[in-house]
Every structure is written in structure tokens, then in C-alpha cells.
Amino acid sequence: MSKIEEEKSKEDAKADMKSVLQQQFCFDKNWILQLNQQKDIHDIICLICKQVANNPMEINCTQHENMDESLIVGENCLKQFLSQNPNSCPVEPHDNCLYSQGRLAKRYISELDVICPRQFEQEQEQELQMTTQQGHGEGETPGLVSCDFKGKVKQVNDHLENSCCLQMVKCWFDSFGCNHTCSKSVIHDHLTSNMKLHFDLVVKSFDTLQQTIRLYQ
């Protein structure tokens, strides 16, 4: 792979990672609950979206000093709320909401054990398909690649960017016209089985370039 292709692949990986982790402002609690108990996340649920708070913020308004429950919101959820409700508060309506970063909560969340979020999404899609098919066909889909990652929340970004076998990548010959995308683990199978196609695309691109050069001579 050339240096340009390698850099492009890294950019695609980062974009893919962002789409997985940031499609919700906070972490899907069903994903977190794959390896944790309900009691483990009771105090880190975002007040706004009811998911596990991502980059948790603590509401510190004096109006809520007597409340016993944890007043935690995800940073992005809070930003969106305040942009739509200026000078208000997500706990109850009042002016001048006070908040600060929940460092302890953030550290706690970062240490939670999780599976690969892409693997979780894949399993969710499988369950949906099985439900839609009303029980026709049992077991895992043949040929489906699985990611066996289990680690901490704080390790997920690195996993998604560098080692996840479910990472979607474009064909190395994308710039020549091959629009194929597949998981990182099977890209070499695609390259091997489509050598003639890719060769023809390169030749066609080269011929087009030659014709363009002749026009300007």
C-alpha cells in the first residue's frame, strides 16, 4: 500500500470510528450492560437521554441541593439542551444552570468493561433480522466476521481505529473506480479475487490520462 493510500485508510478509519461512537451523544446503556449490571450504571445515567453519560457533567445548581439522586448529564446532551433552552436547567426550569465536569464519574465510566461497539451493533442487527424473518433460520449468519474485543471504555477508541476486524474500509483501488467497501478483515480477499478488475480499472485510468495529455499537447 502506498503512503497516500495508507493515510487515506487511516482517515477512513477515524471517520468510521466517529460514526460508531458519536451516533448517540451518550453511550448506549444496552451496550454497556452486555458486561455490566444495572446497579453498576445507576448513578451515571444522563438525565436528558437516559443513556450512560459520555463525558459526564454534574449539575450544581443551588435549587437542587436537597436532591439525593445523581444529577449527571452527558456533555453533548447538555450543550444541545442549553442551545435549545438558553439559561435553563435540565433538572427543572430555572435560570442560570450551574454545572462542572464530573471527573470521578468520567473515570468510573472509562473503567467499565465493554465489548466492541461494532460487534454489539452487528448482533443487534442479527436479532432484528431473525425477528423479521420470524424464526426462519437459526444460529449465526454463515461467513459473518465477529470481533472478540473485550476491554475498558477508555480502550475502545484505540481498538476501533487500529485493530477492529469489523472496521469498514474502501478498496485500495477506490481512486481508480472500484467502489467496494468491506470489513478490514476481508479486504485482502477482495483484492485477490478481483485482480483482473483492478488491473483493467488502472489501465482504463491510464488510457484516459494519456488522452487528456494529448488534448493539451
Q: Does the structure show a pLDDT above 80 at 46?
A: yes
pLDDT at res. 134: 62
pLDDT at res. 70: 85
pLDDT at res. 13: 45
Which of the four pLDDT bands, split at 50, 70 and 90, describes residue 22?
very low
What are the contacts of 86-93 at 24+ separation with CB within 8 A? 89/59, 89/61, 89/63, 90/47, 90/48, 90/59, 91/47, 91/59, 91/61, 91/63, 91/64, 91/67, 92/63, 92/64
Look at residues 53, 57, 59 and name the one whose alpha carbon lies nearest to residue 29.
Answer: 53
Q: What is the mean pLDDT of residues 26-39?
A: 96
Cell triple for 69 = 439522586
pLDDT at res. 18: 47
pLDDT at res. 28: 95
pLDDT digits (tens, 9 = 90+) for 136-165: 555 555 567 889 999 999 999 999 988 898
Which of the four pLDDT bands, split at 50, 70 and 90, describes residue 7?
low
Q: Does the structure show a pLDDT above 60 at 2?
A: no
How far is residue 21's CA from residue 156's CA, in Å, rounded to a whole number? Answer: 9
**Based on the domain organization, do 208 and 154 belong to the same domain?**
no
Element (H, E) at 210: helix 195-215
CATH number at residue 93: 3.30.40.10
Question: Could you tell me what percent of the chain has a pLDDT over 70?
Answer: 84
Question: Does residue 202 belong to any structural domain of this protein?
Answer: yes
109 vs 70, higher pLDDT = 109
**Based on the domain organization, do 161 and 196 belong to the same domain?**
no
pLDDT at res. 23: 45
Q: One-letter amino acid identity for 26?
A: C
Which of the four pLDDT bands, split at 50, 70 and 90, describes residue 1?
very low
Q: From residue 158, how far is each of 22, 84, 104, 141, 163 by CA, in Å? A: 15, 33, 22, 27, 8
- For the chain, how many structural domains are there in total? 2
Domain that holds residue 196: 171-215
Cell triple for 190 = 477482495
Q: What is the mean pLDDT of residues 188-202?
A: 90
**Based on the domain organization, do 106 and 175 belong to the same domain?**
no
User: Residue 55 gets which letter from DSSP?
Assistant: S
Q: In sequence order, which residues have a C-beta less than 8 Å from that of residue 93 and are 6 or more positions away?
A: none
pLDDT at res. 17: 44
**Based on the domain organization, do 114 and 179 belong to the same domain?**
no
Question: Could you tell me what percent of the chain has a pLDDT over 90?
Answer: 51
Question: Does residue 16 belong to any structural domain of this protein?
Answer: yes
pLDDT at res. 16: 47
pLDDT at res. 168: 81
**Based on the domain organization, do 98 and 177 belong to the same domain?**
no
- The mean-pLDDT minimum among 48-57, 133-142, 167-176 falls in 133-142
